Structure 1
Amino acid sequence: MAPEQPHTYPRRILLAVSGLTPQIITETLYALIAQPTPFVPTEVRLITTREGAARARLALLSDDPGWFRRLCRDFRVSAITFDENHIETFSDGEGRPLDDIRTPADNTHAADRITEIVRSLTSDPQAALHVSIAGGRKTMGYYLGYALSLFGRPQDRLSHVLVSEPFESSWEFFYPTPYERIIQTRDGKLADCREAKVTLAEIPFVRLREGLPPRLLDGQASMSEVVAAAERAQHPPRLVLDLATRAAWADEIALNLSATEFALLLWLARRAQAGEPMVDWTTPAACDEFLRVAKEVFNPMSGDYERIEEALDWRRDAAIRLGEYFQPHKSRINRAFEAALGKTAARRYQIPPRGPNALPLEAERIDIR
């Protein structure tokens, strides 16, 4: 499956929001099928209001007029799953279906639900997601497009459909039929649906997924939380170390560090604060300096401190062996930053994998308590 070929994925999903015009589903389906390289969804998912859901069921899924099934028959398309279970209704904070998205609270609930749906669908590596922002209120289309920007992968796409005049906004128009079908347009004139032009306008978007922390990719999160995580890379870093509790925070997010990793991070942070960021930890002098810091973190009489001292003592005579002791801890510290902040934001804190062993932080960005 090539990322640039979404039509090759075994699971192909069309996701859309709509208000009172369920036609956007059939219009988008027609445009996807009519492309030079067709993208035929295996399933359709619609997010809408209570009234929008009722209209979609009656116009698209009923026996008559049943425009979804008609389109599938007209263009000999089979095996697209779309039924009432694939229509989700926006709800308020108490789970009651919404007739419209009007209040700030409604907008927040809708944004969070859209975020979770897109996160969940993009978690399937066998799926390619095509998102349409042609329907619904402008805020809903914005939230859906933004959610795809946050979670979208190379195989995912974003689009809008353009319908030619006089068919645009006509309740009777659902797609260009391959046979004569006369309808009355909104200005009272008659027109043949065969003559309609429906164009898929693909919308480029910035994919921010790689910069998100794994915890937000694997579990539920609000849109505001995900946006804040994506924006962290634009803010100045702030590292806080609490010696008494052996706890560390980056951007106010707790880091998962062992006591030895905390000691190593504390050592490098102090050097950065003192204007001595680089250290060659393959030398006995660096080894002694680290042990002095480790004594503050561990009880010198504890077995943990003794094990660290012994591990370093037998390596003192060989520089390469000292480096081999510190290197795995450095890697785990860097992974802890990435797990907490995501790849992009973590780079502001990470010790370079190769080169100087130092934190890339200015003294005023470090708080040691």
Structure 2
Amino acid sequence: MENLPPAGYARRILLAVTGLSPQIVTETLYALAVDAKPAFVPTEIHLITTAEGAERARLALLSDKLGWFHRLRHDYALPEITFDAHHIHILHDAAGQPLADIRSPADNLACADFITEKVRTFTAAPDTALHVSIAGGRKTMGFFLGYALSLFGRAQDRLSHVLVSQPFESSWSFFYPTPYEHIIETADKRLADARDARLSLAEIPFVSLRHGLPTALLDGSAGFEAAVDAARATLGPARLELDLPARTVTAAGQTFRLPPAELALLAVFARRARENEPALSAPHKEVPDAAWAERYLHELHAIVGPMGDSASAEHALRDGMDGSYFSSRLSKLRRTLKRELGPAAGPYLIEDGGGRPHRYRLALAPDAVRMVGPGRLASLR
């Protein structure tokens, strides 16, 4: 689906934020489905708004008396579009209560998390194309929605703002240009015919950071700040912290645990990078290497502690470490790092130098590595 235009996707979603002006929904729908060439006709519409905004949207767009969403579909013979009260998502505060407005820093953060999760969810399925409108709502709502699309958006997703010609802008009575005469009162108390209105959709380019986010962040629930921190860590210089007693790794803005066997191998190369020591050759296949066993077991003992279980590794390496043991640990380490960090894993993978014979190293600067060990802290230099 990589070369498919947005209109060619089976599931096409229009997502908008609104405040007290639900007209944004019908204006954007008209611009996309009627006026645009080629047309983008959503299969479903979702709205993010406050408690009062939700009630206004329900009454103005979906009620039997006004129902401007249904009128628009009828006037322009648009196909079925799924949009009902269940598709109007009300913002909640940190306590789970519906937000009447966004006033405090806590409200802003709750709003950001809510919008981020909606965008992450809608962009998770590969058969979807998401069109995001930031024309309505408070400025912070539009900012968070646009930022969330930058974090999670894909090639088929779009971001836009709809513009309405004068004197129809800000008029409560205007919802879209009708194909027939429809006289309304404008914001400055004049009369005008809605069919004379002109709408233009300003598409806003955005930089997608999705491919730099860890896979775990894309697959699971992530708040706004966590997603932003992960993007910053990916775009910023690589830094690695190993906490050996806690068995944790911190890299690219993520902290996760590693099994002692893989962590010990990573610690061997992290320590050499911190001390600016040269790359190492791997042990030869079926030829035990005592020096390799010693450096590996040194890190393993630091991880499991004096009472920890290292007997199995000590027995396997009693004559030294051979190439098969090394390759097995290295493969598992690489898989785990890629799973936890996604595309951001690159700087933290053990390199083999590319040529033969392979010489392995962790290509980080000494001051980019921090190691916490038993009873001491190796600080960044």
TM-score, normalization: structure 2? 0.86
Aligned residue for 2:365? 362
Where does residue 338 of structure 1 map in the other structure? 338
- Structure 1 letter corresponding to 2:291: E
Query: Is the partner of 1:21 in helix, strand or coil?
Result: coil
1:348 match: secondary structure: helix
Shift of 1:95: 2.2
Aligned residues of 1:12 and 1:42 also touching (Cα < 8 A): yes
Distance 2:279 2:214 in 1: 28
Look up the equivalent residue of 1:211 and give its one-letter code.
Answer: G
Where does the alignment leave 5 or more consecutive residues of structure 2 unmatched?
Answer: 302-307, 374-381
Q: CA deviation at 1:243?
A: 4.5
Change (3 A) 1:275 1:9: same
Contact 2:283 2:292 in 1 (8 A): no
Residue 176 (structure 2) pairs with residue 167 (structure 1): no
Match for residue 21 of structure 2? 21
Displacement, 1:236? 4.1
Query: What secondary structure sits across from 2:47 in the alignment?
Result: strand
Structure-2 change in CA distance of 1:115 and 1:245 (3 Å): closer
C-alpha displacement of 1:103: 1.1
Deviates more, 1:174-183 or 1:93-102: 93-102
Give the 3-state SS of the residue equivalent to 1:241 in structure 2: strand
Tell me, what secondary structure is at the counterpart of 2:280? coil
Check 1:338–1:13 CA distance in 2 against 1; reply closer, same or farther (3 A cut).
same
Deviation at 1:21? 0.6
Once residues 36 and 82 of structure 1 are traced to their aligned partners in structure 2, the CA distance between those partners, rounded to angstroms, is 23
Relative to structure 1, the CA distance from residue 252 to residue 77 in structure 2 (aligned partners, 3 Å threshold; closer, same or farther) is: closer
Per-residue Cα deviation, 1:130-149 (whole angstroms, up to 9, x for no partner) = 11000000000000111111
- Is structure 2 residue 134 aligned with structure 1 residue 125? no
Shift of 1:347: 2.7
Q: How many residues align?
A: 359
Which residue of structure 1 lines up, in the alignment, with residue 75 of structure 2?
74
SS of the residue 1:227 aligns to: helix
**Letter aligned with residue 340 of structure 1:** E
Aligned to 1:350: 349
Separation in 1, partners of 2:41, 2:340: 38
Counterpart of 2:376 in structure 1 is: none
Residue-by-residue CA offset, 1:42-81 (whole Å, 9 max, x unaligned) = 1110111111111111111011221100000011112101
SS state at 1:207 partner: coil
- 1:273 and 1:176 map into 2 onto residues whose CA distance is 66
Quote how far apart the aligned CAs of 1:151 are.
0.8
Deviation at 1:84, TM superposition (A): 0.6
Equivalent residue, structure 2, for 1:288: 290
Asked whether the 8 Å contact 1:6–1:128 carries over to 2, the reply is: yes
- Please report the RMSD computed on the Cα atoms of aligned residues, expressed in angstroms: 2.5
Q: Residue 15 of structure 1: SS of its match in structure 2?
A: strand
* Mapped pair 1:302 → 2:307: no
Task: Quote the residue 2:156 is aligned against.
Answer: 155
Alpha-carbon offset, residue 304 of structure 1: 2.5
Query: Aligned equivalents of 2:24 and 2:131: distance in 1?
Result: 13
Distance 1:68 1:364 in 2: 59
Aligned in 2, Cα 1:138/1:116: closer, same or farther, shift over 3 Å?
Answer: same
Aligned mates of 1:107, 1:201 — CA distance in 2 = 26
The answer to which of 72-81 and 290-299 deviates more is 290-299
Aligned mates of 2:268, 2:296 — CA distance in 1:
8
Percentage of pairs with the same residue: 51
For the 8 Å contact 1:4–1:154, the answer to whether it is kept is no
Equivalences for residues 1-369 of structure 1 within 5 A: 1-33=1-33, 34-244=35-245, 246-250=247-251, 253-283=254-284, 287-296=289-298, 297=300, 302-308=311-317, 312-313=321-322, 322=323, 325-344=325-344, 346-352=345-351, 355=354, 356-368=359-371, 369=373
Distance 1:271 1:46, change over 3 A: same
3-state SS, counterpart of residue 36 of structure 2? coil
Output the TM-score relative to the length of structure 1. Answer: 0.89
Could you tell me whether the CA contact under 8 Å between 1:214 and 1:342 is conserved in 2?
Answer: yes
Per-residue CA distance 1:305-354 (angstroms, 9 max, x = gap):
332457945xxxxxxxx3x653453343234333334423x333222365
Q: Name the aligned partner's letter for residue 351 of structure 2.
A: P
Cα distance in structure 2, aligned partners of 1:256 and 1:46: 39
Residue 194 (structure 1) shift: 1.5
Residue 160 of structure 2: SS of its match in structure 1?
A: strand
Q: Cα offset for 1:170?
A: 1.1
